[in-house]
Amino acid sequence: MDRNYLINFDTRQLPQEEWEYVIIGSGIAGLYSAYIASRYGGKAVVLTKRTVLDSNTSKAQGGIAVAIGTADSPDFHLEDTLVAGAGLCNYEAVKILVNEGPQRVAELINIGARFDQDNGRLLLGKEGAHSRNRILHAAGDATGAEIQRALTKQALNNPSIEVRESHFVVDLLIRENNCYGVLAYDTQSEQLKVFWSKAVILASGGVGQLYKHNTNPEVATGDGIAIAYRAGVEVMDMEFTQFHPTALNLPEAPRFLISEAARGEGAYLLNCHGDRFMTRYHQMAELAPRDIVVWAILQEMKETESSEVYLDLSRLGDEKIDRRFPNISSTCSFYGLDVKKEPIPVTPAAHYMMGGVKTNLYGETNISGLYACGEVACQGVHGANRLASNSLLEGIVFGQRIIERRLSISDPYRSIPLAQRFFYNEAIINEAIVNQKSNYEHLRHSIQSVMEMFVGPVRTSAGLLKALDIFENMENLGKNPPVKWDEMEVCNMLQVAQLITEAALMRTESRGGHFRQDFPDSLKRWRKHIILKRV
């Protein structure tokens, strides 16, 4: 992508607003940040490209990890996170996560999030790579939806928070290393708008839709990473894409997530012959870290010459399935599968981005006034492989730290002169290009297919180079500036796909969510991060 901005614009000709906080994204990280800002007297606008409920948060099943059990401690949680992170976690970031997490979760409960209880005692489940029961869950396997409900209700009834749905953020407005606001596109009125602020928070979520098979909602197209990178913001660890081991694998069904909590409750993984196999790959069997379970599943498929394995919930008993996994049970039933009697066909699918916009421990980027938290951000808390159910916790812990950091700055809400001008006017010289209409929907599907084929759970140098060549040709096809917001979305997908592929090619080893078939070992000299920045 050569352009500094996706489209031509002139801020002096556009509607303008000024806010203390402009927050991009309406998942847990964005809405919680807005809530904390309002608690300190700040006013925030939350921009979300579809509805307030469209986020990865609402799809989270398993729960939120927090060390509050009598047999648990932040130190145990710290150790489990570091082990899962495969040697690349930022120790200080993890320490912050596990120690500040309990207080943040208590705040969620105060807001109105209703987690499952037994006689007034919070129930704690167990998931892969956790040494203790520490997973809070809600409505069995609908934890994210419950958190989303509570935060959305709070935001929509808070006079200090305004949620603007159908607002696609096109680009950041940055000058002399300072972020002054964002250029957004109102998809309802089809009008560009400017939102000025000295505190812009990226909380736009992940990148799952870059892959044909994924567990993410349609909005997860990597927009936040793309707009940040275009603006000169550093991104880090982009090669570490997490593939969830168990996504529903039926021809007529989407890759619906089958929560890790199912294995935490005792479900077994079986190969096509009905044999349990995880005991042969790791001492924790089904509860091994996600990257190991994915690798084991792929090996088992290869050895048995099968395209799937199975997750057997039937051994849990009808009562536990009804109580703990009603969402999974009803979804499978819709597709004709009775999980109480039949094993679920599953396969790995793209799930989570460990990398993202590089930040420090306060959510600050290398651009003053620009912050990031949640899945779009990378401060090193997940390392090369995220520990199950740490993602929701990350959003609230570092969202809180951003607001507190902002308030420590003298005159944090210094007014921005609305008359200042940002503009971009790229002249297209080639008339043939002007008259050529790019097929952005075709580009979208092509990106997903290429990522699936060459930048999936198993990677090679030849495949990655092939992917980069294809993406470069796609850039030429997309030289016509996008007009509609969904075309801009495809441009963002292409940008992020290139970043992931480039980083994956650079890391000549295998670690966590990044497996190179041509470099299968983890190497001590690669215990470092890859940081990419546009020049």
Residue 16 β-bridge partners:
194
Contact (CB, 8 A) for 371 and 27 = no
Spatial separation of the C-alpha atoms in residues 357 and 359, rounded to whole Å: 6
Crossing angle of the two packed helices 143-156 and 91-111, in degrees rounded to 10: 70
Asked if 290 is an active-site residue, the reply is yes
CA 448 to mean position of chain CA atoms: 17
Phi and psi, residue 202, nearest 5°: -80, 120
Token representation of residue 487: 């075309």
Token representation of residue 337: 């599968």
Strands (E), 315-448: 344-353, 356-358, 370-372, 377-378, 423-424
Cβ within 8 Å of residue 145, ≥6 positions away? 58, 59, 60, 138, 139
Residue 378 β-bridge partners:
358
Spatial separation of the C-alpha atoms in residues 244 and 65, rounded to whole Å: 17
Spatial separation of the C-alpha atoms in residues 165 and 158, rounded to whole Å: 16
Contact (CB, 8 A) for 432 and 438 = no
Nearest residue to 164 via CA among 182, 148, 186: 186
Token representation of residue 290: 């996600």
Task: Give every strand in the sheet of 241-248, ordered side by side.
Answer: 241-248, 344-353, 309-312, 268-270
Exactly one of 290, 405, 406, 511 is catalytic; name it.
290
Active site residue ranges: 290
